[in-house]
């Protein structure tokens, strides 16, 4: 009786690119989470921290939900767009991010 030894490295080297991409996408989908639901107190506290940071031009770390994942950006809030309901934030590299209010998960001072 002969025994076949499976080597995952060998299998991955000979996998078609589209199969490898599908496998990676499936792994990413498994890691996705549902958007956290915040209570009234958490929302008020985040608003207070944002307003205070804008007043003193302090840097913040903002965590927000996007497409099943929690993302993080560190920087300063430039202004709040009440009409579009988004924060305009400039990160520490100088890039601008538009973060929808409804996607906010956490805000803290840096």
Percent of the chain with pLDDT over 70: 85
Topology given in CATH for the domain delimited by 40-109: SH3 type barrels. (2.30.30)
Domain locations in the chain as residue ranges: 40-109
- What pLDDT shows up at residue 8? 56
Angle at 100 between CA 96 and CA 104, to 5 degrees: 105
How are strands ordered across the β-sheet holding 69-81?
A: 96-100, 86-91, 69-81, 60-66, 104-109
pLDDT digits (tens, 9 = 90+) for 30-84: 778 899 999 999 999 999 999 999 999 999 999 999 999 999 999 999 999 999 9
- What pLDDT shows up at residue 72? 96
Percent of the chain with pLDDT over 90: 68
């Amino acid at each position: 009786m002969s025994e076949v030894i499976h080597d995952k490295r060998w299998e991955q080297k000979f996998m078609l690119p589209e199969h490898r991409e599908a496998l990676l996408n499936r792994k990413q989908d498994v890691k996705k989470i549902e958007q956290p639901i915040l209570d009234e107190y958490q929302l008020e506290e985040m608003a207070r921290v944002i307003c205070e940071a804008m007043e003193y031009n302090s840097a913040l770390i903002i965590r927000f939900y996007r497409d099943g994942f929690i993302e993080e950006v560190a920087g300063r809030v430039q202004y709040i767009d009440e009409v579009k309901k988004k924060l305009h934030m400039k990160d520490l590299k100088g890039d601008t991010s538009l973060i929808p209010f409804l996607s906010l998960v956490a805000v803290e001072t840096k």
